[in-house]
């Protein structure tokens, strides 16, 4: 009898712990990720036109890295059009262009046979990074990103300076962020959990 009571107590404790974990995740969604998650439906819709909707959490992770969903250009997509940073002043246009830019680098990356991390990094460093990685084994590494960054700095040293701040973690690799891919991948893992959790709690948008 004592063993049965103990087992029932343990099951209740485990159930309570699971419930607290779910509530905790939902709290994270509400207070930390909500500015990005509100764009989930549009990101999903834009990706679906090319049958890439499975990458919705990835694009949300990318947006989280870029702006945390803040501002008029949450995807930081202006520069992919050759415009100055934050030139886009409409969130819908930002998402349309950001997803379009991802589609372009994804399609090209697949043709060149590089890995997904290279494709993600190229959103930050430009599509030419894919060609660079292809000629160096086809898989992204921080060291390859550093090498590519430094080559771009050497081409335009007056532009890519990290504001001459040698304490900047990127210095002297001041073109792009050589850690961009790993940061996006880490954030994507959160959205792989939070998107289905959000939809189960508040309903599929």
pLDDT of residue 169: 94
Lowest mean pLDDT among 30-39, 88-97, 101-110: 30-39
**Helix ranges, 40-127 (H):** 40-48, 56-66, 91-112, 116-125
Q: Residue 201: its pLDDT value, please?
A: 45
Quote the mean pLDDT of the chain. Answer: 89
Contact residues for 102 (Cβ-Cβ < 8 A; gap 6+)? 55, 59, 62, 123
Instruction: Specify burial of residue 62 (Cβ count, 10 A radius: 0-12, 13-18, 19+).
Output: buried
Q: Is residue 85 scored above 50 in pLDDT?
A: yes
In 3D, which of 32, 81, 21 has the Cα closest to residue 60?
A: 32
pLDDT tens per residue, range 123-179: 999 999 999 999 999 999 999 999 999 999 999 999 999 999 999 999 999 999 999
Nearest to 150 by CA among 167, 135, 130, 132: 132
**For the residues 96-107, what does the mean pLDDT come to?**
96
How far apart CA 132 and CA 115 sit, in angstroms, is 13
- Residue 94 or residue 198, greater confidence: 94
Q: What secondary structure letter does DSSP report for 176?
A: S
pLDDT class of 61 with cuts at 50, 70, 90: very high
- Residue 202: the pLDDT is 42
Q: Taking residues 87-101, what's their average pLDDT?
A: 96
Q: Could you tell me the pTM of the whole model?
A: 0.83
| Residue 29 confidence (pLDDT) above 70 | no
Q: For the chain, what is the total number of helices (H) and then of strands (E)?
A: 9, 0
Alpha helices in 113-203 (DSSP H): 116-125, 128-134, 142-155, 180-202
**Model pLDDT, residue 46:** 95
- pLDDT of 197: 57
Distance CA 25, CA 48 (A): 27
């Amino acid at each position: 009898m004592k063993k049965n009571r103990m087992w029932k107590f343990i099951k209740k404790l485990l159930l309570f712990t699971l419930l607290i974990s779910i509530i905790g995740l939902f709290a994270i969604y509400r207070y930390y990720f909500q500015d990005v998650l509100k764009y989930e439906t549009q990101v999903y819709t834009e990706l679906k036109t090319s049958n890439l909707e499975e990458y919705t959490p990835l694009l949300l992770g990318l947006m989280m890295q870029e702006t945390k969903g803040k501002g008029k250009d949450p995807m930081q997509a202006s520069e992919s059009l050759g415009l100055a940073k934050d030139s886009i002043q409409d969130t819908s246009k930002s998402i349309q262009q950001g997803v379009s830019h991802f589609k372009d680098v994804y399609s090209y990356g697949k043709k060149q046979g590089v890995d997904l991390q290279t494709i993600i990094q190229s959103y930050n460093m430009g599509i030419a990074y894919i060609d660079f990685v292809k000629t160096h084994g086809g898989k992204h590494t921080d060291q390859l990103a550093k090498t590519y960054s430094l080559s771009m700095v050497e081409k335009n040293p007056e532009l890519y300076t990290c504001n001459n701040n040698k304490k900047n973690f990127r210095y002297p690799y001041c073109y792009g962020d050589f850690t961009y891919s790993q940061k996006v991948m880490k954030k994507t893992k959160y959205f792989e959990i939070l998107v289905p959790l959000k939809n189960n709690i508040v309903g599929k948008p």
